[in-house]
């Protein structure tokens, strides 16, 4: 069983609305890293919060991220 904290990441709703507007639910976004890699992840509405899912685990695994790291969008 996967650790749920690796599968999704909560994103502040104010940031999401400013970046993508009111119609942000179920949006596909691309995460780019300075090493040239990029990943497709999904921004979904879960429990009244925007979260990164579907592909976020690949980002976390490839970059060897732990809870102490900050994801800047």
Q: What is the mean pLDDT of each run of 10 residues along the chain (73 residues)?
A: 52 79 79 86 80 83 75 60
Give the integer Cα–Cα distance in Å for 62 and 29.
Answer: 17
CATH of 4-63, one of 3.60.21.10, 2.60.120.10, 2.40.330.10, 2.60.40.10: 2.40.330.10
> Coil, helix or strand for 63?
helix
On the CB side of 36, how many CA atoms lie within 13 Å of its CA?
Answer: 0
Give the integer Cα–Cα distance in Å for 15 and 22.
Answer: 11
Please give the pLDDT value at position 52.
78
pTM over 0.85: no
Please give the pLDDT value at position 58.
87
């Amino acid at each position: 069983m996967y650790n749920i904290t690796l599968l999704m990441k909560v994103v502040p709703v104010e940031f999401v609305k400013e970046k993508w507007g009111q119609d942000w639910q179920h949006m596909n976004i691309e995460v780019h890293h300075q090493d040239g890699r990029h990943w497709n992840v999904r921004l979904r509405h879960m429990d009244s919060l925007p979260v990164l899912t579907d592909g976020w685990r690949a980002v976390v695994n490839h970059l060897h991220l732990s809870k102490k790291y900050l994801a800047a969008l």
